[in-house]
Amino acid sequence: MEHITLLLAIVVVTALVFDFTNGFHDTANAMATTISTGAMKPKAAVAMSAVLNLVGAFLSVEVAKTISGGLVNEDGLRTEVIFAALVGAILWNLLTWLLGLPSSSSHALYGGLIGATIASVGFSGVNGDVVVTKILLPAIAAPIVAGLAATAATRLTYKLGTNVDGKTSAKGYKAGQIASAGLVSLAHGTNDAQKTMGVITLALVTGGVLGADADPPLWVIVSAGLAIALGTYLGGWRIIRTMGKGLTDLQPQQGFAAQTSAATVILASSHLGFGLSTTQVCSGGVMGAGLGRKGGVVRWSTATRMFVAWGVTLPAAGLVAALAESIAKQGSWGVAVTGAILVTGCAVIWKLSRKDVVDHNNVNDVDVETAESPGVVTTAIAAVTPPPAAPVADAELSSVIPAPSDTATEPARPGASV
């Protein structure tokens, strides 16, 4: 019993570590566009996002139930399996953070649970219908829906602002961005914080502390909310840079459209219990907003790397988790070795990240290499997109890429990246 109690404690702590990495990995979902357009200062943005993530964690438990009582069969599942699943998810989260890729923390967790369960009890331990209906299908549909909605919303905002002064329009949409970013943060808390709640609840069920189909206890909800809020406050600056500047150059109108579309999709999915990837939804919204402005450029080389990361996240995290489970199931020494591998891997990735530090001071800097000419898709969509609103004089809105007709004559900001 003492061994089980100790192992449960280790799993709970490891789950909260994953929740922490989920927080700083996904800060970009809510705040990348707000920071890139200058609507909020970087530190203030992540602080607001952290508070609203914490609030969102208390609004629903539907996604937590999907994980704790649906994704894998609880019968015969051992606590070591959950530990191995978390190891795979954390290492994949940190690796993609190091590379600045907005991959899915959610799919890393799902992949870890699936891989570790298969390694432990075989394919019978995984509920395939839940995987398809509540994970895979939403993963495909949600970013497409968010992208299409953001494209339409962007076109509408520019059309409505045709006769509005550029500075007035930009100021209004910056205020709108702050509100929509808060909504995304709240939605993120209702979706992603619950995933950790579900994992901890599943561990407590397998350890005999809770009965089957139990809801997350209050202390689980509070601890998961605090962990993701703390991670959010520290800010995943590498991924914020990719989403805010690496995919496309956004103006406040586009940022508002992207965030509002993403928040709507996330909140609807949380209500239905779909454990979708908020990263994929928000990335789809950003690309849709980029395509919605005439002359807008989506950097497809960056998008392609991101798509590849999305595709390999679930199997890659599952493979690492399966290997971790093959070691952990050997007994106490196996759990100790698996823990040592996790700590060592985290330390190595952190050390590598110090060679090229990205923080709130340089998050909006973009190298020349990230610029690329419009591709075939961008050119085709731009040709049928209504012209943007009147020129925006605010120097904060000048783009890294030579801007379209509405901003092309703006003077370069002193010291800005070109």
pLDDT digits (tens, 9 = 90+) for 188-199: 777 777 778 888
Residue 29: Cβ within 10 Å count: 36
For the record, the structure tokens of 111 come out as 């992949």
Mean pLDDT confidence for 402-410: 44
**What pLDDT score does 357 carry?**
82
Round to whole Å and give the CA distance between 147 and 319. 30
Round to whole Å and give the CA distance between 82 and 8. 10
Strand, helix or coil for residue 207: coil
Torsion angle of C-alpha atoms 130, 143, 91, 29, degrees rounded to 10? -130
pLDDT tens per residue across span 339-378: 999 999 999 999 998 888 887 777 766 553 444 444 444 4
Which residue stretches of 207-236 are H helix? 218-234
Report DSSP letters for 367-382, one per residue: -GGG-----HHHHHHH
Backbone angles phi, psi at 199, to 5 degrees: -65, -45
Torsion angle of C-alpha atoms 287, 153, 177, 381, degrees rounded to 10? 30
Cβ-contact 406, 254 below 8 angstroms = no
In the chain, the percentage of residues whose pLDDT exceeds 70 is: 78
Round to whole Å and give the CA distance between 148 and 38. 25
Q: Which residue has the tokens 């602002």?
A: 161
pLDDT tens per residue across span 250-294: 777 888 888 888 888 877 776 776 666 777 888 888 888 888 887
pLDDT band at residue 401, thresholds of 50, 70 and 90?
very low
Round to whole Å and give the CA distance between 269 and 153. 20
**What pLDDT score does 415 carry?**
43
Q: What's the predicted TM-score (pTM) here? A: 0.75
Round to whole Å and give the CA distance between 135 and 318. 14
pLDDT tens per residue across span 304-318: 888 888 888 999 999
pLDDT band at residue 14, thresholds of 50, 70 and 90?
very high
pLDDT tens per residue across span 50-107: 898 888 888 766 666 666 556 777 776 788 888 999 999 999 989 988 888 878 888 8
pLDDT tens per residue across span 166-193: 676 777 777 887 888 888 888 777 777 7
Cβ-contact 110, 135 below 8 angstroms = yes
Round to whole Å and give the CA distance between 179 and 115. 39
Q: Which residue has the tokens 């890429």?
A: 401
Mean pLDDT confidence for 27-38: 75
pLDDT band at residue 331, thresholds of 50, 70 and 90?
confident
Three-class SS string for 145-208?
HHHHHHHHHHHHHHHHCCCCCHHHHHHHHHHHHHHHHHHHHHHHHHHHHHHHHHHHHHHHHHCC
Contacts of 357 (CB under 8 A, 6+ apart): none
Could you say which DSSP state residue 248 is in?
B
Cβ-contact 151, 375 below 8 angstroms = no
Euclidean distance between the first and final Cα of the chain, in Å? 62
**What pLDDT score does 69 carry?**
57
Report DSSP letters for 16-35, one per residue: HHHHHHHHHHHHHHHHHHHH
Helices H / strands E in the chain, number of each: 15, 0
State how far Cα 267 lies from the chain centre. 14
State the Cα angle at 331 between 328 and 336, rounded to 5°. Answer: 60
Round to whole Å and give the CA distance between 299 and 378. 9
Lowest pLDDT segment from 8-22, 102-116, 188-202, 309-323: 188-202
